[in-house]
Structure 1
Amino acid sequence: MLPERFLDRMKSLLGEEYTDFLTCYDRPGYQSLRVNLLKGQEKDLAEKVNFLKEAVPWAKGGYYYRSEDKPGRHPFHEAGVYYIQEASAMAPAAYLAPVPGERVLDLCAAPGGKSTQLACAMGGRGILVCNEIHPQRAKILSGNIERMGIENALVLNHEPAFLAKRFPAYFDKILVDAPCSGEGMFRKSQEALKEWSPENITMCARRQRDILESAAAMLRAGGRLVYSTCTFAPEEDEGTISGFLREHPEFYLEEAKKYQGMTGGMILGPKADMPEIEKAIRLWPHKLKGEGHFLACLKKEEKSPDGVLSPGGEEKGISPKECREWAEFREEYLKIPFSGSYIRFGDQLYLIPEKMPLLTGLKVLRPGLHLGTLKKNRFEPAHALALFLKPEDVKNTLDLSLAQAERYLSGQTLPAEGEKGWYLISVEGYSIGWGKLSGSVMKNHYPKGLRI
């Protein structure tokens, strides 16, 4: 039961297309996921995940699947081989198009689909700051960053206005996937349908303007900002962008490729008022295989004020003497060197990205790659380290079949032979956790909170 006032507005917006739009709600939505390009080449991943048949045109690594395939119950999901993500939701990160070495911000990042997509494009190089204002959602975000084996992400829990003061003109690229009324997800989300109201749209539009103001302050001269929502409401889409551009002459809309089924932004008043709004992009559920989305690619003029390259300075890291146990573990069990700086949070050791900004005063959930726990005269590797590593990176491995992996994920021990010590456990070549061999028993170190 779609709200009557929503239907009246959509009929006015769409005209002759309104019937096609309404009919799409009688059909089930499309199911999609994105393979994790940090785990390997797209072709190899798509072949291994053998239920992927059709690619999402606008997103590298994106594929459709059938609901009966149930990828969320497959061991590959726990191994971070893919991220289940709605196809239209893959578009904003694809249009932001970060490259390795850049400083990138996902300002409203939970639950992490777009952050993990940005991380794949960055290939582990540069700094990816993933922020979420709600503490519980920030924890979910951090968990997904871990599951996908991402090494260069800094996960924060702050209001955008706070970050704007801390990171003036710092980022090369910023994604603002703004909280919205969620009209584009009515086919998938009963919660969005129940919470809909004209008052909520007005509240969301006001909040989106504030978030964009903060994002604008954090973007360097010449940088790109992608604004996106999953709503059809013009007040939150073209209205928000038009108002922002009027107040920020240093920004302009970039022309971006439109794939089949995408249309330009809608002119809300006289065309002379804001003709460039047609450069924005709308994704319609009756025109393509995905839900409703809106995005706009904004560029900041090169003549804008210079950025602050290292606000507050950079993290220097700790001395090697303070992580001797890690060095011994690395020498005994790993084949790859770990270059870079380390930081301790209590007894927890992290590898931080190069040129990490100073963390003092920030609410940090994850400051890079979690390596493990420094205990007295020994080191216990973190689950995040296992998901980052590949079998060829370690000296001891145990590769499981899908049936064996299900037993491992439930917390069971496994029979095994070999030298005692730590083993990277994998499923069909993809790392999934740690085990420790003692005698002929592989003790299970899959985190208890994740066990199935």
Structure 2
Amino acid sequence: MALPIEFEQRMQRLLGDEYPAFQDALARPQARGLRVNPLKISPAAFAGHAPFSLTPVPWAEEGFFYPETERPGRHPYYEAGAYYIQEPSAMAVGALADAQPGETVLDLCAAPGGKTTHLAGRMRGAGLLVANEINTSRAAVLAQSVERMGIPNCVVLNETPERLAQYFPGFFDKIVVDAPCSGEGMFRKDGNPAQDEWTPELPAFCAERQAGILDCAADMLRGGGILVYSTCTFAPEEDEGTLSRFLERHPDFEMVQVADPPILFAPARPDWAENGNPSVAAAFRLWPHQLDGEGHFAAVLRKTGAPAEQPEVTFPAARTKKEQEAYERMIQPVLEHVRELPNGCVRQRKDRLYLLTDPRMQEVDELRVRACGVELGTLRKNRFEPSHALAHALPPAAFYRVCDLPADDPRVEQYLRGETFPWDGEKGWTAVAADGFVLGWGKCAGGIMKNHYPRGLRWVGR
């Protein structure tokens, strides 16, 4: 692989005797990984019967390496949201953030959804997860990832960091900033344009943008809260340099010494940055010649000071008789297809119903909302049509009618291709599953399963 000459010169200067090993690593095939979705199945249970050869990723309990010869992205389990295909080094970010059930968490630069879905798995559906992406088309991809993984407690926004900082001052317990960067750590990755787009001036440009994003994140974090900053570049200007300048602007932040960090993570090098802050050595560099993964940088910071008092926000414990009757009328068509829903409230927007699992989901109407909670379905004239999101948000036992097929049954591929197939089941809307992982909806009539898998997701030409 021919690397930009200016990049090579800089890395030779920084790495010295290590540079040949670094260069050799970039010439080897990239490591490949998937991260199991705990909202669907435990990592241990999945590893026990996975149809792929899996090896654990040491720094992420949900993560596994898989061989280059296998294609888990072309398997029904992927379409069912059982796992997310993610570069192994990138899994370090969600592991370091370690979001917990009940927390308020923001993924500020979230597309395509790797970090968001990792955070969601650890939150177990409890608390509030806000995933933001400034680019509109990438926000659509993010929302699709959230839907496929069956995440009930997420709001997907399409906003600028500045707008969010005005809306959420001192609000979040944890914020992840996987910042836009020069992408040097991805030079080896298949089909990645980072190498062609790289210029010697790009790191400085990215560092300036990173500063603005981090300043907004600082405003949105509560006292005592955790900020995880990461990039996929080797450039000290964007890594140790960006962090050092941030700490100079924000003396109310401090680096966190991570307890028992993975032995494969190398300490950051503040001496590589101009006026580097010595405490930045607590951050991590993930080198492709030292572990199986691409280049990454990650740091954990804490905002000092006591958190501001926030009133407890809960759904009303009880409804008046009139409110309860109205609620039952609204939810009744949904409960004709599923036995139960996660705790929360149901909200109607035009002809669609949504399940909100956290009261604060009701407070984002002034923002550009791409997705909010679980879309339950659409109210048509004299009927209710359940949504694809509802199919992904529930386990098979929650549905009245289930067509659960072995993953290698030809009818599974027929379904994913948008075709009908024979099924001698009860008439009506039916959850179609592969080995217990729900793929989507079908509608059974006359011994035929009519296909309701979304057109944009179908296996066309496979």
Does structure 2 conserve the Cα–Cα contact (< 8 Å) formed by 1:131 and 1:157? yes
Distance 1:449 1:350 in 2: 22
Between the aligned partners of 1:56 and 1:48, the Cα distance in structure 2 is 17
Structure 2 gaps, min length 5: none
TM-score normalized with structure 1 length: 0.95
- Pairs aligned (count): 449
Q: Which amino acid aligns with 1:22?
A: Q
**Could you tell me whether the CA contact under 8 Å between 2:173 and 2:225 is conserved in 1?**
yes
Equivalent residues of 2:236, 2:272 under 8 A apart: no
Asked whether the equivalents of residues 168 and 307 of structure 1 are also in contact (C-alpha less than 8 Å), the reply is no
2:347 equivalent in structure 1: 343
Aligned amino acid, residue 264 of structure 2 = G
Does 1:380 pair with 2:382? no
Deviations along 1:182-201, one digit per CA (max 9) or x if unpaired, are: 00000015410011112211
For 2:387 and 2:144, how far apart are their aligned partners in 1? 13
Determine helix, strand or coil for the equivalent of 1:34.
Answer: strand
The answer to whether 1:198 aligns with 2:200 is yes
- Corresponding residue number in structure 2 for 1:411: 418
- How far apart are 1:377 and its partner, in Å? 2.8
SS in 2 for 1:356: helix
Inter-partner Cα distance in structure 1 for 2:370 and 2:105:
17
Moved more, 7-16 or 342-351: 342-351
In 2, Cα distance between equivalents of 1:100 and 1:270: 37
* Conserved? CA contact 1:325–1:378, under 8 Å: no
2:360 corresponds in structure 1 to 356
Report if the CA contact (8 A) 1:326-1:379 is conserved: no
Counterpart of 1:2, as a letter, is L
CA contact (8 A) 2:268 2:280 kept: yes
Within 1, Cα distance between the matches of 2:310 and 2:24?
Answer: 51
Task: Sort the Cα spacing of 1:206 and 1:337 in 2 relative to 1 into closer, same or farther, 3 A.
Answer: closer
Is 1:282 aligned to 2:285, yes or no? yes
Using the TM superposition, name which of 215-224 and 320-329 deviates more.
320-329
> Secondary structure of 1:435's match?
strand
Quote the residue 2:455 is aligned against: 448
Looking at structure 1, the residues matched to 290 and 272 of structure 2 have their Cα atoms a distance apart, in angstroms, of: 24
Q: State the distance in 1 between where 2:334 and 2:354 align.
A: 14
Please give the residue correspondences for 1:195-274 in structure 2 after superposition, counting only pairs within 5 Å.
Answer: 195-256=197-258, 257-268=260-271, 274=277
Q: CA deviation at 1:319?
A: 5.6
Contact 1:176 1:226 survives alignment (8 Å): yes
TM-superposition CA deviations, 1:308-343 (whole Å, max 9, x none): 669xx9999996666666533344332224431122
Q: Tell me what 1:140 maps to.
A: 141
Instruction: Please say if residues 111 and 141 of structure 1, whose CA atoms lie closer than 8 Å, have aligned partners that are also in contact.
Output: yes
Which residue is equivalent to 1:177?
A: 178
CA separation of 1:446 and 1:174: change in aligned 2, threshold 3 A: same
Contact 1:168 1:308 (8 Å CA) reproduced = no
2:36/2:62 contact within 8 Å kept: yes
Aligned to 1:137, what secondary structure does the other structure show?
Answer: helix
- 1:89 is matched with 90
Query: 8 Å contact 2:130–2:154 — kept in the other structure?
Result: yes
How far apart, CA to CA, are the structure 2 residues paired with 1:76 and 1:327? 30
- Deviations along 1:28-64, whole A, 9 cap, x unmatched? 1111111111102221112232314210011121001
CA distance in 1 between counterparts of 2:314 and 2:249 reads 33
Cα contact 1:264–1:279 (8 A) shared by 2: yes
**Compared CA separation, residues 170 and 234, structure 1 to 2 (3 A):** same
Tell me, in whole angstroms, the C-alpha distance in 2 between the residues paired with 1:377 and 1:144: 31
Any unmatched runs of 5+ in structure 1?
Answer: none
1:334 is aligned to: 338
Query: Which residue of 2 is the match for residue 105 of structure 1?
Result: 106
**1:118: which partner in 2?**
119
Q: 1:371 to 1:2 in 2, by over 3 A?
A: same
**CA separation in 1, counterparts of 2:151 and 2:315?**
19
Match among 286, 302, 309 for residue 299 of structure 1 = 302
The answer to whether the Cα contact below 8 Å between 2:270 and 2:281 also exists between their aligned partners in 1 is yes
- TM-score normalized by structure 2? 0.93
Per mean C-alpha deviation after superposition, the further-off stretch among 287-296 and 347-356 is: 347-356
Q: Do structure 1's residue 429 and structure 2's residue 436 form an aligned pair?
A: yes
Q: Structure 1 segments of 4 or more deviating over 4 A?
A: 269-273, 307-310, 313-326
In the superposition, relative to structure 1, how do residues 132 and 315 fare at CA in structure 2: closer, same or farther (>3 Å)? farther
Return the alpha-carbon distance in structure 2 between the equivalents of residues 9 and 320 of structure 1.
67
Native 8 Å contact 1:413 1:443 kept in 2: yes
Shift of 1:118: 0.4
Give the 3-state SS of the residue equivalent to 2:308 in structure 1: coil
The answer to whether the Cα contact below 8 Å between 1:170 and 1:307 also exists between their aligned partners in 2 is no
Distance in 1 (alpha carbons) for counterparts of 2:328 and 2:290: 58
State percent identity of aligned pairs.
48
